[in-house]
């Protein structure tokens, strides 16, 4: 039930790039939606008191936004059957300018027999890759 | 230090969580989803689902309920103020859909020491009614040691 023909895919092929602007507003919204109210995600004074440079995005927000590249490609959020990341670098969110996260998805592996594709995601903030081994397996 | 003896410890099932349509929409907007399957009931139904589908990371909301139990467990001795999220994975047997009533069962899969730090891996199994496994959420927290 997708528009994608698995036989036409190649490993290494870029499936899309999306730029996400994460602002303080995004963090408050994610805090409310997820129930993660750790103040390091909305209070500079608190973040600094625990040794951080400032407020940082929830790792789970970065993870949740990054997978949208795979979701948009496959067209159905329900087709992401396995998704994992490592949180390797913080995303600091400036009070005025926010933070720009650029996510690129590439085909990492093709399993034609089961109709599944692994999408490897690269999430970059401030010229630094912030997620490690970000891989989403989708069922076509 | 995290108590290594809690490795293998299982925590009782959480109170049932009823997945609401508006909660899914709220979460979808928060993770910047524009996918109609997350937002539009008719689009989701046209794709064969009974209602809107949760984004792939929504299961974290359920996982957190189990994790809260562990963080309140004095035997585990996890200092939440020293916790950093190390990695996260969601393996879905099927997507979570609005209307699902879910419970989660958490097991401490491993506790490892790295110098003064501890790495704790949790495996949370999320079940719908009738013990149907919907998602396995695997989370590793790094607990920084004291000075």
Query: Searching chain A, which residue's CA lies closest to the CA of residue B25?
Result: A33
Domain A6-22+58-139, second-level architecture: Roll (3.10)
Partner A, chain B 98-137, Cβ-Cβ below 8 Å = none
* Count of alpha carbons within 13 angstroms of residue B145, beta-carbon side: 10
Angle ∠(A110,B60,A97) on CA atoms, nearest 5? 90
Tens-place pLDDT, residues B93-143: 999 999 999 999 999 999 998 888 999 999 999 999 999 999 999 999 999
Q: Are B31 and A64 in contact (CB under 8 A)?
A: yes
Tens-place pLDDT, residues B29-75: 999 999 999 999 999 999 999 999 999 999 999 999 999 999 899 99
What whole-number distance in Å separates Cα of residue A66 and Cα of residue B92? 18
Domains of chain B: 4-19+53-143 (3.10.129.10)
CA distances to A57, B54, B123 from A70, rounded to whole Å, are 21, 15, 24
Interface confidence, given as ipTM, is: 0.96
Give this prediction's pTM: 0.96
Looking at the partner chain, which of A78, A85, A136 has a beta carbon nearest the beta carbon of B53? Answer: A78
Give the minimum alpha-carbon distance from B122 to chain A in angstroms, rounded to a whole number: 14
Q: Which residues of B touch A72 (CB under 8 A)?
A: 34-35
Looking at the partner chain, which of B57, B87, B92 has a beta carbon nearest the beta carbon of A86? Answer: B87
């Amino acid at each position: 039930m997708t528009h994608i023909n698995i036989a036409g895919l190649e490993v290494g092929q870029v499936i899309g790039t999306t730029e996400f602007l994460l602002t303080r507003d995004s963090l408050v919204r994610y805090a409310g939606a997820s129930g993660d109210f750790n103040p390091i995600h909305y209070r500079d004074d608190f973040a600094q008191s625990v040794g951080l440079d400032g407020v940082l995005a929830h790792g789970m927000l970065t993870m949740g936004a990054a997978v949208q590249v795979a979701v948009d490609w496959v067209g159905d959020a329900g087709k992401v059957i396995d998704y994992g990341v490592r949180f390797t670098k913080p995303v600091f969110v400036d009070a005025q300018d926010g933070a720009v996260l650029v996510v690129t998805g590439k085909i990492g592996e093709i399993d034609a027999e089961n109709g599944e594709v692994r999408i490897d995601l690269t999430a970059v903030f401030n010229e630094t890759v912030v997620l490690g081994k970000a891989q989403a397996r989708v069922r076509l | 230090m995290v108590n290594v003896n809690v490795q293998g410890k299982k925590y009782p099932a959480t109170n049932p969580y009823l997945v609401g349509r508006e909660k899914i929409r709220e979460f979808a907007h928060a993770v910047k989803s524009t996918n109609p399957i997350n937002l539009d009931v008719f689009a989701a139904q046209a794709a064969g689902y009974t209602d809107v589908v949760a984004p792939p990371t929504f299961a974290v909301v359920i996982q957190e309920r189990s994790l809260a139990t562990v963080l309140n467990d004095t035997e585990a001795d996890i200092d939440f103020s020293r916790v950093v999220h190390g990695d996260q994975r969601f393996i879905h047997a099927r997507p979570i859909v609005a209307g699902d009533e879910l419970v989660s069962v958490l097991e401490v899969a491993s506790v490892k020491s790295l110098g003064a730090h501890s790495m704790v891996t949790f495996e949370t199994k999320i079940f719908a009614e009738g013990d149907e496994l919907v998602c396995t959420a695997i989370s590793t927290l790094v607990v920084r040691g004291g000075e």
